[in-house]
Structure 1
Amino acid sequence: MRVLFTAGPFFGHVNTVLPLAVAAERAGHEVRFATGADFADHVSERGLECWGVGPTADEAGMPTSLAFFRRTGALRAADLLKLADRWRPDLVISEELEFGGVVAAARDATPLLVHGLGIAAAGSTEAVTSEVDRLGATWGLPHLAEVYRTSLHLSVCPPSLRPVGLPDPKLMSVRPALGEPAPGERLPAVLEDLPYEANIHLTLGTVFHQRRPGVLAAAIAGLRELAANLIVTVGPGVDPADFGSQPANVVVERYLPHALLLPRCTAVVSQGGAGIVLGALAHGLPQLVMPQGADQFDNAAAVQRAGVGLVVDSNEPNPLAITEAMEKLLREPQYADAARAVRTEIHVMPTPSDVIAAWRTVTPWSLM
């Protein structure tokens, strides 16, 4: 089977879909992964052929609304349609905010699966389908929103974190996965020489924190005083040296592979992106969330609701408040207990390989 995966050019979008694409390739399917050209190396390092389509992350700019994904999806669709004409995929799997793949699937009546991105990704919302509908009008596809809404949706959200009252599309679970480190990826040797037993990982993602760099600085200031190692990643486009000299228990890097780092950690501090929230929970780690934008406020609410962590207001970041919240998280065992319970939920969800194996007896589109 020829399977086309599509994702917007952001780590949280690409990395969420990659495990299923890798599983499909290993199961013997022909796979193409379409995203921004800036992610070509990241995808090809996992053994997949990448199509660079539409704008890169830098060219697209900062996502500020759902209309952003409609506009960039239209640009990707223009490239995807030409490539699909030549390759003729049997199935399109598009992450839930990558609408170019929806256009390519609908135009050729190719079966579509919508791959959720996180906690709120348990199905389409009225706002999302409205943008898809507007895109359909642009491309002369008046049924585009219906195709999106009625397609099988793959949800990476464990039951304890699913919001109440969402629409009920055809829903299939797939275990959220950190994927595998690329060949040759290693953690830096400096991590072996840190002074404390406990490790706290601090990340505010790769997009929103660049708007407000003071939030990351405040978090470092608040967490480095604890009797724990602080391992910070600042993301591309940020120089670790900008944060100045740090004590011996602090390491600041641009990027570290979570698949290698999180098993070493005791707790996580993040912006509340779905990838890091679910990644931390897959390892049973309690977390402190400092939401910046997009779905992060909803994710932070889900973290609190499930009792797996705490939330700190990042509008006026206060190092002392961050210190106190992390001390509570580490001191009171109910947060780690709840996180381990969600880890158990995640580990019984179907793996990407399980989902691919199901295609041998029931094709995904026959489930629709």
Structure 2
Amino acid sequence: MRILFSGRPAYGHLYPLLPLARAARDAGHRVTIATGPTFVPQVAEFGFDAREAGTSIGVAEAEAVQRHPDGPVVAVMATMFADILARRTLADLGPMLEVDRPDLVIYEMSDVGAAGAARRAGIPAVSVTIGRSMPAEARGFAAPSFDWIWGGDVPADPMLGDACLDLWPAGLADPVAAAVPTRFPLRPVPWSAPAPPWTSPGRPLVYLTLGTVSFSATDVLRAAVSGLARLPVRVVVAVGPGDPAVLGPVPANVQVFRFVPQGRVLAEADLVVHHGGSGTTLGAAAHGLPQLVLPQGADQFVNAAALAAQGSGLELTGDEVTPEVIAECARTLLGEPVHRATARTLAAQIAAMPPPAAVVADLAGYATR
């Protein structure tokens, strides 16, 4: 079977696709990965057939803001994802699909132009829930913007389409994804960029990150470092593509890196303090870890609320994000057993989800039905 994966050139968008792509390749299927030019070399280094398609979210955001300088956020987002990004992806993928004729297109949910290209080529497409679906109000506002992509037959969720690979366990279920007509549960498996060698500094260990897109939240990161350093713990900080020097001098019990092998760090950690990105949220949940979430944008607020409702995490926003409050919340999560118990429930749910290798076989049946 020939499978084309398509994703935006960003860690949180593209990397969730790679474990499934690797499983498909290992099963003998021909795998191609299409993404923006900045990530093509990385994908090629991982051993995949990498093709250039689409552009970055940053480029699309700049153009959308120019079109709507005073418009509501939902208008900017609809212009980005249903117009600029989608049209660029569709234009690049359309000829590629006609030549390669894959049996299946798998796209991360924001790369909906890939679904449009697949529909025009008569190829089945399946989305991957790299994040939460749009709130109902935003979905209703944006739906007409997606009409051209789906040829007038817009699915209930215009980004997830009629079939999806759902990474969310039952305790954090996205009800919109759960209602997609054809749904394949898929165990979230981490994929980390190559990182320098890392040795655990000891325990108790707190892992702190604001992900690879921090929304310029340097002050939040500094507050978290300051608060966590007051506790009798070791703190490992990953700043992503940013410069570690932006934090300035840090206390002796804090280590700062650009990237870390997140799976290894999570295996040693006792608490994760983070932004609420889906990759970190699901990675920490898979390891049964309590989480303190400091959401900064996108669907991070929804993820934080879901963790708090499930019982394995706490959420801080706005003026609550101070060193003192962060330290107190971390002390609570490290000391009280209830959060760890509910976190272990999530870990058990994730462990019971089908792994990528098992899902590949289901997808083969879907593509040839």
How high is the TM-score relative to the length of structure 2?
0.88
Q: Which residue of 2 aligns with 1:59?
A: 59
Instruction: Name which of structure 1's ranges 9-18 and 142-151 shifts more when overlaid on structure 2.
Output: 142-151
Partner of 1:197: 203
Q: Structure 1 vs Structure 2: percent identity of aligned residues? A: 36
**CA deviation profile, 1:21-43 (whole Å, cap 9, x unmatched):** 11111111111111111112332
The residue number in structure 1 matching 2:260 is 256
Corresponding residue for 1:177?
Answer: 189
Give the drift of 1:80: 1.0
Q: How many angstroms does 1:131 deviate by?
A: 4.2
Paired with 1:140 and 1:155, the residues of 2 have a C-alpha distance of 21
- Distance, in Å, in 2 between the alignment partners of 1:131 and 1:240 is 38
Distance (Å, rounded) in 2 between the aligned partners of 1:67 and 1:173? 30
Distance (Å, rounded) in 1 between the aligned partners of 2:184 and 2:101: 25
Letter in 1 for 2:209: T
Q: What secondary structure sits across from 2:102 in the alignment?
A: coil
CA distance in structure 2 between the aligned counterparts of 1:165 and 1:80, rounded to whole angstroms: 27
Task: Give per-residue Cα distances to partners, 1:274-302, cap 9 Å, x unaligned.
Answer: 11000101111110001111111111110
Deviations 1:254-280 (A, max 9, x none): 111212221121110111111100010
Report the Cα offset of residue 125 of structure 1. 5.8
What SS class does the counterpart of residue 303 from structure 1 fall into?
Answer: helix
1:60, CA displacement in angstroms? 3.6
Q: What is the distance in 2 between the residues matched to 1:164 and 1:54?
A: 29
Counterpart contact for 1:103–1:144, Cα < 8 Å: no
Q: Distance in 1 between matches of 2:46 and 2:138?
A: 34
Paired residues for 1:143-154 under 5 Å: 143=153, 145=155, 151-154=162-165
> Quick one: distance in 2 between partners of 1:133 and 1:82?
26
1:188 alignment partner in structure 2:
197
- Cα 1:22–1:84 change in 2 (3 A) is same
- Name the residue aligned to 1:79: 92
Task: State how 1:36-185 maps to structure 2 within 5 Å.
Answer: 36-61=36-61, 65-70=77-82, 71-118=84-131, 120-121=132-133, 127-128=138-139, 131=142, 133-137=144-148, 141-143=151-153, 145=155, 151-163=162-174, 168-170=179-181, 171-179=183-191, 181=192, 185=194
Worse-matched range after superposition: 40-49 or 4-13: 40-49
Residues 240-255 of structure 1 aligned to structure 2 (within 5 Å)? 240-255=244-259
Mapped contact 1:5–1:32 kept (Cα < 8 A) = yes
Query: TM-score, normalised to structure 1's length?
Result: 0.88
Higher mean C-alpha displacement, 148-157 vs 18-27:
148-157
Change in CA separation of 1:314 and 1:342 when aligned onto 2, cut-off 3 Å: same
Quote the Cα distance in structure 1 between the aligned partners of 2:25 and 2:155. 29
**What are the ranges of 5 or more consecutive residues in structure 2 without an aligned counterpart?**
65-72
CA shift, 1:16, in A, is 1.3
Offset, 1:66: 3.8
Superposed displacement of residue 206, structure 1: 1.6
Determine whether 1:226 maps to 2:231: yes
Question: After alignment, is 143-152 or 94-103 more displaced?
Answer: 143-152
Letter in 2 for 1:143: D
Q: CA deviation at 1:308?
A: 0.6
User: How large is the RMSD of aligned CA atoms in angstroms?
Assistant: 2.5
1:288 aligns with 2:292: yes
- Alignment length (residue pairs): 354
Displacement after TM superposition at 1:46 (Å)? 2.6
Q: Retained in 1: the 8 A contact 2:272–2:292?
A: yes
Deviation at 1:89, TM superposition (A): 1.4
C-alpha separation in 1, matches of 2:176 and 2:122: 31
SS at match of 1:211: coil
8 Å contact from structure 1 (residues 111, 365) kept in 2:
no
CA distance in 2, matches of 1:274, 1:79: 28
CA offset digits 1:128-182 (Å, max 9, x no partner): 5864652442x69333547866622111000011145777122220001103x56
CA distance in 1, matches of 2:332, 2:188: 27
Which residue does the alignment assign to 2:222? Answer: 217
Aligned partner of 2:70 in structure 1 is none
Tell me the amino acid that sits aligned with residue 218 of structure 1. Answer: A
Does the CA-based 8 Å contact 1:267-1:285 persist in structure 2?
yes
Q: Quote how far apart the aligned CAs of 1:2 are.
A: 1.1
CA positional deviation for 1:358: 2.7
Please identify, of 89-98 and 38-47, the stretch whose mean Cα deviation from structure 2 is larger.
Answer: 38-47
Query: What letter matches 2:31 in structure 1?
Result: V
Amino acid at match of 2:50: C
Q: What's the offset of the Cα at 1:127?
A: 4.1
> Retained in 1: the 8 A contact 2:224–2:326?
yes
CA contact (8 A) 1:281 1:339 kept: yes
Give secondary structure in 2 for the equivalent of 1:268: strand
Moved over 6 A (4+): 146-149
CA–CA distance in structure 1, aligned partners of residues 61 and 141 of structure 2? 22
